[in-house]
Chains A and B, each alone.
Chain A
């Protein structure tokens, strides 16, 4: 049980260090993303099995919020910058959010012609029943913000 997690963590850290190394050598993409790509390729090539890492990966992603608490606490020193740039920041957020939803949503509507909806899945109209928080959800704690 524990060994599953340890192996998973070791593989994740290993790929992260590989990515960081590539970044240091001059690849202009962040080390974490390089590690992600290397890990993805390794799984596609069958070098690493998803099952080896699955539990550790799900654990890290489920509790990712913990990992950016320290940086967020740093906002306590950002008050002056934030209040001076409040308008630009808020406008940028709202404009960009709307633009992304429109682009992806409409492109999706156009490119992905409606397939028969899978049976047993709740329809958008079921909204009321859906609002109830279900006991289990694997995205608990805002999985991986």
Chain B
């Protein structure tokens, strides 16, 4: 029993378990598209932790090593932003305006709705960055003293819902231009939405991955204002 504790409590074990679970989740997602990789990766880990009676804090000593890499991953978003920014040069000023408006509306409506329904401040702040890509959303959530786990759950749900219902909804309200569709999906459903557009249209996917990075940047800049207001 002590040996089990020592193995399971080891940060190396956490990292290995997480990488293994992720590696196993990929073929599952490939075979059954509707299974989000994040869900398939997390469930076996939760099962192991519960079975071994391992508290989350202990698992997370190794886990935080992986979490740290979200920082460099955020930096990496500049690559698609730069690459696609070049391709979209002619419509860039208008796209900036559109994505900026989307970021403001996304933050304001999410926070206000939760606040009006009586959620406590940390929960309200956790909803504010829910439209943007996970690594940025987590950072913004921390700046606003929210609860990162709630933000992550919302970000993933926004991505899954936006990817499945976004395009038909946009068609319903008469949005047909590829760039408009891409900007809307990138703003509302970040990476998951963008991934779903890749199979539709190159222009939509290009605008979408630019919009996802840009809305992340705008949201974190706008969050500075929200944080000032909180003080």
Residues of A that sit less than 8 Å from B by CB: 9, 12-13, 15-16, 19-20, 28-33, 35-37, 39-40, 43-44, 50, 53-54, 56-58, 60-61, 63-78, 81-82, 85, 87-89, 91-109, 111-112, 114-115, 117-118, 121-122, 124, 130, 132-134, 137-145
Contact = CB atoms under 8 A, between A and B. Distances in A.
A134 B119 contact: no
Contacts, number: 377
A91 B115 CA distance: 11
A134 B195 CA distance: 12
B127 A96 contact: yes
B73 A111 contact: no
Given A32-B72, A82-B150, 11 more contacts: A12-B73, A33-B139, A40-B82, A60-B76, A70-B67, A71-B148, A93-B127, A96-B127, A97-B158, A115-B177, A124-B181
Dominant secondary structure of chain B at its interface with chain A: helix
B46 A73 contact: yes
A134 B199 CA distance: 7
Interface of B: 14, 18-19, 21-22, 25-26, 29-30, 33, 36-38, 41-42, 45-46, 49-50, 56, 59-60, 62-64, 66-67, 69-83, 91, 94, 97-99, 101-102, 105-106, 109-111, 113-114, 117-120, 123, 127, 130-131, 133-136, 138-140, 142-143, 147-150, 152-159, 161-162, 166-167, 169-171, 173-181, 183-185, 187-192, 194-196, 198-203, 205, 211-213, 216-217, 220-221, 224, 227
A112 B183 CA distance: 11
A8 to B, nearest CB: 9
Contacts of B131: 96-97, 100
A2 B200 CA distance: 33
A122 B46 contact: no
Contacts of A112: 91, 94, 98, 177, 179-180
